[in-house]
């Protein structure tokens, strides 16, 4: 290759983002919190493949939904001709897995999942082509109690994350026969106002008129607000179910508003639908959405099985955490070990392993390509790591059989440095970091 020829840099796919080390602690905080909450409600994790048969989504979500029509990453397997799709959502995958492995044979199941989803959308804040969801699916529960429990689980999660500006919108879209009556009247209503329909609404008029109610077009708002309301078409059973959900929420002081225009983007929903929304993220205001989808198991060839669930948009929640949370930068470690000279380096390795055995996080300074290894430059690294203590080993320390330990996270006037014998360093640091009372309970690996 010619020395003058410039090698073209390869960059990531548009809308599919890297999660960098600076962002990882926030992801970890969120994931740990939501896993803890899900576990406290008795949900068990399920992991499904990223690639599924295309038919799973076209049949489950509906051929005329936006996702299936124009957002899925679908392809033909070059080895065997199978039609495959990168999953755009995970509910269909979970139901497919539950059916395939007969998970509900011994009773209802509470399941949760986490992972990347893929939709070919216009990238914007909080909306990406590879995005992440954490969701819960409750299979086999028929009453309004599970709908309410899922909503209350979300409220607990927002509380645990310290999120303030998240509010609940609730609606019922009834059952298929009720929607069909409403749909006929809705189409007739929109036909009378055809001159006000934009291109999207005209395309959906006969294929999926419910979605017109969800329009964001300001020019259509007044007309859409006066359209027939699905709530008015609910039969006794659907109305009783919806009132049952509201009763439990009110009894547990969960505030909500009924949004009669709220519909979900997938065809499989029925009865209860809900969204958690915020004003903090601009146009992408929905951070979590869900509802009941009793027809889906039967659509996939199983016995009729009631089901309810939700999905959280992880990137949007993280944006919200940044906006409304008091997030201090996380520490990289508890202890940073500095050293100079070959003997000091060898002793530093021994000490770092012993300190890790005691349960503390340690960063051992290693030579880098673009920085000096003077104690001054190493100390800058130690400060930047967020460590509580620096352990310093040089020739004087090796000769004296001690390590110099410097506290990094106290005020300048109190800053101190002490010399501790190598054999006593671990006990000293554990006492300082976790406290003497806790020290007795530390488990040593070796």
Confidence of residue 123 (pLDDT cuts 50, 70, 90): low
- Can you say how many angstroms the Cα of residue 150 is from the centroid of all Cα atoms in its chain? 16
Q: Which long-range contacts (CB under 8 A, 24 or more apart) does 298-301 make?
A: 299/59, 299/60, 299/268, 300/56, 300/59, 300/60, 300/92, 300/95, 300/96, 300/99, 301/99
Q: Is the pLDDT of residue 434 over 90?
A: no
Query: Are 281 and 354 contained in the same domain?
Result: no
On whether both 107 and 256 belong to a single domain, the answer is: yes
Residue 190: the pLDDT is 87
- The band of 369, judged by pLDDT with boundaries at 50, 70 and 90, is low
State mean pLDDT over 182-194. 86
**Structural domain of 355:** 335-439
**Does position 413 have pLDDT exceeding 70, yes or no?**
no
Task: Determine the pLDDT at residue 412.
Answer: 44
Alpha-carbon distance of 335 to 433, in angstroms, equals: 9
Is residue 258 within 8 Å of 250, Cβ to Cβ? no
Domain identity same for 168 and 305 = yes
In a shared domain, residues 69 and 162: yes
Domain presence at residue 394: yes
92 and 119 share a domain?
Answer: yes
Same domain, 316 and 343: no
286 and 365 inside one domain: no
For residue 439, pLDDT beyond 70: no
- Residues 93-117, mean pLDDT to the nearest whole number: 93
Predicted confidence at residue 314, as pLDDT, reads 92
Q: What is the mean pLDDT of residues 151-163?
A: 92
Residue that wins the pLDDT comparison between 209 and 30: 30
Claim to verify: residue 36 and residue 168 sit in the same structural domain? yes
d(CA 212, CA 215): 5
383: CATH? 3.40.50.800
> What is the per-residue pLDDT across 125-141, written as a single tens digit (0 to 9) for each?
667 889 999 999 999 99
- Give me the CATH number covering residue 242: 3.30.930.10
Assess whether pLDDT exceeds 90 at residue 183.
Answer: no
C-beta neighbour count of 234 within 10 angstroms: 22
The answer to whether residue 189 sits within a structural domain is no
How many separate domains does the chain show? Answer: 2
Domain assignment of residue 196, yes or no: no
Given 294, 324, 354, the domain boundary residue is: 324
**Owner of token pair 């499904």:** 48
The pLDDT of residue 446: 44
Residue 22: per-residue pLDDT: 82
Domain assignment present for residue 194? The answer is no
Q: Are residues 353 and 400 in the same domain?
A: yes
What mean pLDDT, rounded, does the chain reach?
85
């Amino acid at each position: 290759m010619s020395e003058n020829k410039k090698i073209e840099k390869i960059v990531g796919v548009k809308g599919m983002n890297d999660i960098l080390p600076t962002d990882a602690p926030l992801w970890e905080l969120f994931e740990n919190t939501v896993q803890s909450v899900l576990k406290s409600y008795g949900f068990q994790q399920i992991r499904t493949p990223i690639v599924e048969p295309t038919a799973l989504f076209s049949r489950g979500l509906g051929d005329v939904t936006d996702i299936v029509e124009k957002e899925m990453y679908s392809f033909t397997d070059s080895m065997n001709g199978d039609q495959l799709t990168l999953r755009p959502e995970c509910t269909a995958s979970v139901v497919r897995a539950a059916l395939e492995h007969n998970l509900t044979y011994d009773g209802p199941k509470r399941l949760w999942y986490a992972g990347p989803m893929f939709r070919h959308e216009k990238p914007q804040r909080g909306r990406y082509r590879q995005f992440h969801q954490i969701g819960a699916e409750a299979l086999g529960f028929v009453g309004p109690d599970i709908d309410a429990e899922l909503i209350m689980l979300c409220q607990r999660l927002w509380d645990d994350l310290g999120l303030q500006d998240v509010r609940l919108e609730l609606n019922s879209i009834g059952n298929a026969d009720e929607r069909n009556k409403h749909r006929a009247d809705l189409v007739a209503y929109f036909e009378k106002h055809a001159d006000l329909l934009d291109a999207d609404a005209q395309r959906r008029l006969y294929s999926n008129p419910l979605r017109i109610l969800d329009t964001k077009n300001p020019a259509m708002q007044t007309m859409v607000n006066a359209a027939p309301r699905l709530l008015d078409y609910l039969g006794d059973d659907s109305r009783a179910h919806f009132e049952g959900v509201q009763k439990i929420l009110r009894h547990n002081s969960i505030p909500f508003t009924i949004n009669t225009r709220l519909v979900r983007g997938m065809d499989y929903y029925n009865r209860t639908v809900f969204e958690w929304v915020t004003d903090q993220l601009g146009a992408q205001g929905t951070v979590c959405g869900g509802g009941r989808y009793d027809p889906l198991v039967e659509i996939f060839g199983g016995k009729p099985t009631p089901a309810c669930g939700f999905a959280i948009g992880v990137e949007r929640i993280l944006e919200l955490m940044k906006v409304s949370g008091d997030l201090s930068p996380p520490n990289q470690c508890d202890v940073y070990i500095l050293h100079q000279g070959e003997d000091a380096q060898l002793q530093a390795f021994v000490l770092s392993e012993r300190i890790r055995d005691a349960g503390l996080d340690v960063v051992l300074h290693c030579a880098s390509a673009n920085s000096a290894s003077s104690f001054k430059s190493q100390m800058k690294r130690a400060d930047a790591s967020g460590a509580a203590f620096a352990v310093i080993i040089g020739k004087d320390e090796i000769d004296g059989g001690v390590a110099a330990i410097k506290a990094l996270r106290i005020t300048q006037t109190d800053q101190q440095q002490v010399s501790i014998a190598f054999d006593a360093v671990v006990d000293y640091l554990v006492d300082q970091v976790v406290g003497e009372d806790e020290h007795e309970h530390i488990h040593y690996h070796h």
